[in-house]
């Protein structure tokens, strides 16, 4: 007889500049997990960090401290004050002062409610968020089905802080097979955008102008460098792209059309590098499915290019729902759920202990 598990899990995410709390109702059956979103609160600090052109860790920490309790109150109110079975908190990777704010808050809740606290990995959260598939609306919140991908599966994680290729040979086992040696993809978008005089975060700005350039048939005469495109490993390097844009635009007055041309070339160069390395990895590991996660996959040009790549290999591509691409606590609650499910008894008896 299959053991049905129904749990209400609260996730907390404070690794960077989003303060987020989500409450999920997860029901496990023989067909997989069904995830109902009871609350999904996100407070973005983008406006606050904009003048600095990036995230300022101590400022972010102060905001998390100020906002966690009101966001928790809002999330609980949205659920009609349900009883929580477990609290999950992002353990890393992320900005250390910010992570500790979330962890301390989770520990307080764990004690108060006498429930276990689970430490989750932020990157695993991004992978799992991409595997959620929207179900027909059910009563009381959005609903998603969760299905394991075809193995071996390869995940590309692209955000402001990370660029990683992760191989998953079976559910829950991860091996990093490639990563950036310097800047992350999102960081590259943000830094090159800044050189073009565009506001932070630069990714969406570049994306918008690049689309206009394609529509208006504007193209830069020269190609930007594609660092490490032909290296034998699966690592990335993006700092050379930023330097190339710096030298090409230094002491020049750029017209609106020039900026669009650069935006297009930057977006297409980054996409090319990502697709090329993915292709190499697909062949090397005989990959059966692709997963892409992280804030940069909000980019529609990258989305459609990677879809074409997956189609050319005849393998499925799992992308996150647009609202789950950037940092959120739903993915953290989900990562914690699978950790609990795997060694449920142990974690449930270790009440209140955060195993860091
Ligand atoms: O995952 P995320 O929300 O936060 C981190 O963990 O970093 O990713 C934020 C990053 C920023 O660098 C931002 O510029 C980039 O994602 N981004 C985009 C787009 N939307 C957000 N990059 C390219 N195109 C976009 N449409
Ligand atoms: Zn992230």
pLDDT tens profile 279-294: 999 999 999 999 999 9
Cα Rg, the chain, nearest whole Å: 21
Contacts (Cβ under 8 Å, ≥6 apart) of 348: 116, 340
Q: Are 39 and 75 in contact (CB under 8 A)?
A: yes
Helix 202-215 / helix 300-313 crossing angle, nearest 10 deg? 70
Tell me the CA–centroid distance for residue 171 and ligand 1, in Å.
26
C-alpha distances (whole Å) from 161 to each of 170, 185, 295 are 26, 8, 10
Q: Hey, CA dihedral for 14, 197, 189, 299, is it positive or negative?
A: positive
- Closest listed residue to residue 15, CA positions, set 339, 306, 308, 326: 326
Please determine, for residue 190, whether its predicted confidence score (pLDDT) is greater than 70: yes
Mean pLDDT of the chain: 90
Q: Is the pLDDT of residue 348 over 60?
A: no
**Poorest-pLDDT segment among 16-25, 41-50, 107-116, 204-213:** 41-50
Mode of pairing for the β-strands spanning 86-92 and 117-121: parallel
Mutate to test the pocket of ligand 1, among 14, 16, 128, 201 (most ligand atoms within 8 A of CB): 201
pLDDT of residue 346: 39
Give the bridge partners for 133, in sequence order. Answer: 145
Q: Residue 108 and residue 102: Cα distance in Å, rounded?
A: 10
Query: What spacing in Å lies between the alpha carbon of 60 and ligand 1's midpoint?
Result: 17
Q: How many helices (H) and strands (E) does the chain have?
A: 12, 12
User: How confident is the model at residue 118, as a pLDDT?
Assistant: 95
CATH homologous superfamily of 5-148+323-341 equals ATPase, nucleotide binding domain (3.30.420.40)
Distance 287 CA to ligand 1 centre (A): 26
| 160 Cα: distance to centroid of ligand 1 (angstroms) | 5
What would the mean pLDDT of 18-31 be, rounded to a whole number?
Answer: 90
Please count the residues of the chain. Answer: 356
Asked if 72 and 82 touch (Cβ cutoff 8 Å), the reply is no
* Residues within 5 A (CB) of ion ligand 2: 159, 327
CA distance 291 to 310: 10
DSSP label at residue 54: S
| Ligand lying nearest the CA atom of residue 297 | 1
Predicted local confidence at residue 226, as pLDDT: 87
Q: What is the mean pLDDT of residues 297-303?
A: 96
If you ran DSSP here, which 8-state letter would residue 152 be given?
S
Query: CB-based contacts of 194: which residues, under 8 Å, 6+ apart?
Result: 53, 200, 202
Which of 15, 190, 295, 302 should be mutated for ligand 1, with most atoms under 8 A from CB?
Answer: 295
pLDDT band, very low/low/confident/very high, at 137 (cuts 50, 70, 90): low
State residue 322's pLDDT score. Answer: 83
How far CA 284 is from CA of 81, 270, 281, in Å, comes to: 49, 21, 5
Q: What pTM was estimated for this model as a whole?
A: 0.91
| Protein residue closest via CA to atom 3 of ligand 1 | 326
Q: Which CATH superfamily is domain 153-315 in?
A: ATPase, nucleotide binding domain (3.30.420.40)
Q: What is the number of the ligand 1 atom nearest to the C-alpha of 185?
A: 12
CB 302 within 8 A of CB 278: no
**For the chain, what are the domain ranges?**
5-148+323-341, 153-315
Most confident of 133-142, 261-270, 332-341: 261-270
Is pLDDT larger for residue 29 or for residue 166? 166
- Cα 13 to ligand 2 centre (Å): 10
pLDDT of residue 110: 96
pLDDT at residue 139, rounded to an integer? 66
Ligand 1 environment, Cβ below 6 A: 16, 159-161, 186, 189-190, 201-204, 207, 294-296, 298-299, 326-327
């Amino acid at each position: 007889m299959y053991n049905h598990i129904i749990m209400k899990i609260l996730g907390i995410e404070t690794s960077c500049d989003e303060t987020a709390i989500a409450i999920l109702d997860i029901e496990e059956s023989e067909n997989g997990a069904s995830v109902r979103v009871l609350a999904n609160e996100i407070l973005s600090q983008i406006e606050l960090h904009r003048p600095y052109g990036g995230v300022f860790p101590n400022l972010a920490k102060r905001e998390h401290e100020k906002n966690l309790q009101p966001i928790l109150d809002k999330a609980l109110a949205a659920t009609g004050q349900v009883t929580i079975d477990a609290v999950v908190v992002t353990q890393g990777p992320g900005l250390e002062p910010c992570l500790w704010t979330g962890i301390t808050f989770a520990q307080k809740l764990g004690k108060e409610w006498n429930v276990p606290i689970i430490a989750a990995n932020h990157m695993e959260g991004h992978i799992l968020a991409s595997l959620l598939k929207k179900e027909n609306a059910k009563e009381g919140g959005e609903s998603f089905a969760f299905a394991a991908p075809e193995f071996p599966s390869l995940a590309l994680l692209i955000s402001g802080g990370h660029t990683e290729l992760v191989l998953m040979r079976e559910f829950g086992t991860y091996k990093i097979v490639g990563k950036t040696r310097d800047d992350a993809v999102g960081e590259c978008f943000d830094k090159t955008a800044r050189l073009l005089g565009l506001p932070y975060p630069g990714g969406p700005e570049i994306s918008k102008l690049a689309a206009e350039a394609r529509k208006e048939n504007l193209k830069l005469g020269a190609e930007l460098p594609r660092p490490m495109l032909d290296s034998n490993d699966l690592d990335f390097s993006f700092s050379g792209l930023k330097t190339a844009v710096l030298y090409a635009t230094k002491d020049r007055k750029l017209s609106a059309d020039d900026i669009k041309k650069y935006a297009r070339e930057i977006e297409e160069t980054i996409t090319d590098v990502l697709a090329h390395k993915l292709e190499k990895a697909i062949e090397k590991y005989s990959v059966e499915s692709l997963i892409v996660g992280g804030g940069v996959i909000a980019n529609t040009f990258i989305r459609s290019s990677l879809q074409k790549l997956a189609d050319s290999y005849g393998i499925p591509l799992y992308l996150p729902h647009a609202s789950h691409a950037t940092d959120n606590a739903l993915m953290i609650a989900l990562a914690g759920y699978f950790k609990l499910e795997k060694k449920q008894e142990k974690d449930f008896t270790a009440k209140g202990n955060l195993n860091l």
